Structure 1
């Protein structure tokens, strides 16, 4: 089972790296959440978060990334996710999964635009609640715990 879960997490990372955002949306339960909290034990809707997206907010985020011109995404970010230390435990019909992720992000460009051409490394522990469905998994909740979440965050206009 751990191998199936790990392959699912790898696939999600690849979809993000390939900018296949509509396919990424399809990995979530209808009532699934995508959260980047400011504190480890943040309760959705009760504490501020960098990202706290339900289905509609995820769809809006993807729509804007794909269809709107944003200075923070011109040119668009390219990412490469490295996933390791995947641990999974079944709890009441859901799988609690934790992984370590290193996400490299860069926007092409040169010295004439501040921040372009600079490689950024984002380090996070990513926790999932996964539900088995249709022979695979669906994301019920994805929580990205940024290692440096208390510090200054640069360009956040991409999906972790």
Structure 2
């Protein structure tokens, strides 16, 4: 098991956002563990994705389905394709997070972001925080869970096409 330093963890967060912005969705999906989840809570301070409603709570299979839909020739909502841009604040190590146990190869990382999703003449901006629960899998960092907390999570939101 490797020990990852702060700079390596920060580089992981920046690299993950770049994969999304460059629409390298297969490479992005490969960052997740087999039991990994992408979670977007519906309310501030939400503690459980299963007992409370969420905007999204997707396992790797559902993420794959979304990625295949984005690549599909009959996905008319993506002709032309949506584009995205992440602007990240420098990540912080969440040493008080229950997942953060570097001695066991588990890391918790948080970064604030502004995210823009654009398609044709429409551009939508979101702001929030991403919290990564990362794990060392054979010397490589993998996402066990990515939690995306939007500032306006409890607002009426437009259809989010891509991944934040």
TM-score (norm 2): 0.86
Query: Structure 1's 69 and 42: CA in aligned 2 closer, same or farther, altered over 3 A?
Result: farther
RMSD: 1.5
Hey, what does 1:101 align to over in structure 2? Answer: 113
Note if contact 1:129-1:140 (Cα within 8 Å) is conserved in structure 2. yes
Could you list the per-position Cα deviations for residues 27-67 of structure 1 after superposition, in whole angstroms to 9, with x for gaps in the alignment?
Answer: 00100110111023231221111111011111111111112
Is 1:158 aligned with 2:162? yes
Residue 68 (structure 1) shift: 4.9
Is 1:43 aligned with 2:45? no
Residue 89 (structure 1) shift: 3.7
TM-score (norm 1): 0.88
Is 1:21 aligned with 2:16? no
Hey, what does 1:111 align to over in structure 2? Answer: none
Provide the rounded CA distance (Å) in 2 between the counterparts of 1:153 and 1:72: 17
Structure with more relative contact order (C-alpha pairs < 8 Å, separation 6 or more): 2
Hey, what does 1:148 align to over in structure 2? Answer: 152
Give structure 2 stretches of 5+ with no counterpart. none
Note if contact 2:112-2:130 (Cα within 8 Å) is conserved in structure 1. yes
Provide the rounded CA distance (Å) in 2 between the counterparts of 1:68 and 1:16: 20
1:1-160 alignment, distance < 5 Å? 1-39=5-43, 40-89=45-94, 91-92=100-101, 93=104, 94-108=106-120, 117-160=121-164
Provide the rounded CA distance (Å) in 1 between the counterparts of 2:21 and 2:129: 18
Could you list the per-position Cα deviations for residues 119-141 of structure 1 after superposition, in whole angstroms to 9, with x for gaps in the alignment?
Answer: 22110111110012333310000
Q: Deviation above 6 Å: which 4+ runs of structure 1?
A: none
Note if contact 1:72-1:155 (Cα within 8 Å) is conserved in structure 2. no
Note if contact 1:27-1:139 (Cα within 8 Å) is conserved in structure 2. yes
| SS of the residue 1:154 aligns to | coil
